Amino acid sequence: MKICIVSDSHDRAPMLAAAVAAAKAEGAKAVIHCGDIIAAVTLRPLLDIGLPVHIVHGNNLGDAVAMWKMCASSDGVLTYHGQDADLVLDGRRIFATHYPHYARGLACTGDYDVVCYGHLHEAGAVHQPNIKGTRTWLVNPGTVGGLGAPATWMLAELSQFEFDIRALQA
């Protein structure tokens, strides 16, 4: 299963929508947004794209009530998880948060196959050793909003644990 992982859109709705539309065109079946959306209206274009979107907030939260209301009225397209999300997609345990220190700690537990985070605006994927003697993928898609770094997003193939960082094509 392919999924789109994004973070740090910071009110840049057209850039977020472009990344999600590109991911859908490449076969993505779901989206994880690792926070810093700010205004709920940033999510509105995603309703027309139609992929299920799992959302956590970040340190630039904006109006959490408006976010919750938009998600609640989205007919299941948008799911607002709050601080973090504990998901199972394609049989893979996935944890999503905004904060890198929290993500590293959860990756080290070995309870998840993939831990997604944002905040740093630096895209990357690390196969992190964990306390169970295995490894957990720790991934950051960078900033889809292009703040202080190139605009990036990630296309992940969960069956093979492939994480491809994509530059956003304007």
Q: Quote the number of domains for the chain.
A: 1
Distance of alpha carbon 55 from alpha carbon 33, whole angstroms: 5
pTM over 0.85: yes
Output the pLDDT for position 138: 98
The enclosing domain of 148 has a CATH number of 3.60.21.10
122 three-state secondary structure: coil
Note down the domain range covering 12: 2-167
Q: Residues near 119 by Cβ (< 8 Å), separated by ≥ 6?
A: 7, 8, 34, 35, 36, 58, 59, 98, 99, 100, 140
pLDDT at 79: 97
The token duo for 97 is 């948060």
Burial of 148 (0-12, 13-18, 19+ CB in 10 A): exposed
* Model pLDDT, residue 170: 63
Q: What is the pLDDT along the chain (170 residues), one digit of tens a residue?
A: 999 999 999 999 999 999 999 999 999 999 999 999 999 999 999 999 999 999 999 999 888 899 999 999 999 999 999 999 999 999 999 999 999 999 999 999 999 999 999 999 999 999 999 999 999 999 999 999 999 999 999 999 999 999 999 999 76
Q: Return the pLDDT at 62.
A: 86
Q: How many alpha carbons lie under 13 Å from residue 89 in its C-beta half-sphere?
A: 27
pLDDT given for residue 169 in this prediction: 76
